Amino acid sequence: MTNRIVLQAPAPAKINLGLEIIGRRPDGYHEIVTVLQAIDVVDVFHWRASNGAFRYLPMHSMEPAADLVVRALGAHGWEQWTGDLRVEKHIPLAAGLGGGSSDAALALRLADPDAEPGALMQRAAQLGSDVPFFLNGGTALATGTGTKLTALQTPEFWVVLIVPELVIPDKTRLLYSRLESDDFSDGSLVRAAADRPASAIRQRPPNAFERQMRRIPEVARAWAALAQAASGPVSLSGAGPAIFACFASEQHARGAFRRLPQEVGAAYVARTLPANYAERAVHAMATALRGEPTAL
């Protein structure tokens, strides 16, 4: 085998079609209700054949202690694995798009492709509240701390996504600590949206972090620009700062994208992805990682 890259597998981002926070739990976490939707903004795992022992090649900007891929891969099994594995990042970090969680979920699937689904879900939940969703992706109603999932039929639509250029240290903890009584709700609006996810094109289910994020000048400017370009509702993904608008067709999405001013931040056009997206590619990489023949 040569040293060229021979296999790739994607780890998709997600958006939240609404996010309601019901209250604080006795364990310190918060009870939420949200609809998670995978989209085709993706990080890409590259596996390359080599003649030596397995190596994971981390991003230079990522501290090992913060790298969820390292934790997900674990230490067991590496002595039997082969090739070099690296992650090519495209999903913006700390933007409310779940990039780190998606990478961790793909790493879990590579590390233990024959694991029972329940056991894999438990391991995923230990890594982060969004990680279990990314094991299958698609569309799901997430409740509890975000780890209790109910699969939904994936609607077909397009999004224009903006990630304003700002960094909020310890963002999620900070935003949760600043929640006010008006930010809490009973989850009924998002549950109603879960019955008809395609309605996200016309409606905008609430997001409990919107009040805080729209006070930030960079987010406010991007919000106004996207609302004008889309001529429709704008939503916040997760705890932000990523925002998005939904469209029924690629043509309408790209038209709105072209109307965006350049200074609002990084912008993307993406479509929704069904569950088990690129499953064959993931299986092929897991097989090659173990030095076994693969059909791809």
> Residues with catalytic annotation?
14, 130
Three-class SS of the chain? CCCCEEEEEEEEEEEEEEEEEEEECCCCCEEEEEEEEEEEEEEEEEEEEEEEECEEECCCCCCHHHCHHHHHHCCCCHHHCEEEEEEECCCCCCCCCCHHHHHHHHHHHHHCCCCCHHHHHHHHHHHCCCHHHHHHECEEEEECCCCEEEEECCCCCEEEEEECCCCCCCHHHHHHHCCCHHHECCCHHHHHHHCCHHHHHCCCCCECCHHHHCCCHHHHHHHHHHHHHHCCCCEECCCCCCEEEEECCHHHHHHHHHCCCHHHCEEEEEEECCECCCHHHHHHHHHHHCCCCCCC
